[in-house]
């Protein structure tokens, strides 16, 4: 019997998720950013001024969690909301000067965590890992990385 037949991939995904959440929570805590907010802030660094719906879709999280995270980031002074000119019932979310000034510092935290995870892999292994992750992801409902792959 092969190892993968008795040992599920979810075990490893869960393990890395818990390790990452612990590390990132500790590192972002000093900035007033919790585990529920940092991913939204990073998404806004990648594309500032997006709608609540677009942010929800990119984070692959429900609207209520997005709302809570954005409210917390707004309370901490990292984002501001502006009424969407094309639909007055909706808002666009923008980074504040505070968030922009801290961009490199905050992104480095996530970068350092990823580097730590990937450290034991050589270049070919890294290419294979990302190839396989994309292949698995493309086969899932709601796959939303297509536009990033086309760049």
Single pTM value for the model: 0.79
DSSP for 107-129? HHHHHHHHHHHHTT--HHHHHHH
**What is the residue extent of each domain of the chain?**
3-120
Strands (E), the chain: 50-51, 79-84, 87-95
**Residue-wise pLDDT tens for the chain (151 aa)?**
566 667 788 889 999 999 999 999 999 999 999 888 999 999 999 999 999 989 998 888 889 999 999 999 999 999 999 987 877 778 899 999 999 999 999 999 999 999 999 999 999 999 999 999 888 888 887 666 655 555 5
Residues present in the chain in total: 151
Class of domain 3-120: mainly alpha
**∠ Cα 4 6 12 (to 5°):** 60
Sign of the four-CA dihedral 101, 67, 83, 40: positive
What CA–CA distances, in Å, run from 30 to 34, 58, 93?
9, 26, 23
């Amino acid at each position: 019997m092969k190892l993968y037949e008795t040992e599920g991939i979810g075990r490893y995904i869960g393990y890395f998720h818990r390790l990452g959440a612990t590390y990132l929570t500790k590192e972002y805590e000093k900035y007033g950013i919790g585990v529920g907010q940092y991913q939204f802030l990073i998404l806004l660094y990648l594309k500032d001024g997006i709608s609540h719906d677009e942010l929800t879709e990119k984070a692959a999280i429900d609207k209520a969690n997005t709302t809570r995270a954005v409210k917390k980031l707004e309370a901490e002074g990292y984002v501001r909301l502006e009424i969407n000119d094309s639909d007055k019932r909706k808002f666009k979310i923008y980074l504040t000067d505070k968030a922009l000034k801290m961009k490199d510092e905050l992104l480095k935290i996530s970068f350092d965590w990823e580097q730590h995870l990937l450290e034991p892999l050589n270049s070919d292994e890294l290419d294979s890992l990302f190839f396989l992750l994309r292949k698995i992801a493309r086969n899932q409902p709601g796959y939303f990385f297509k536009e990033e792959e086309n760049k």
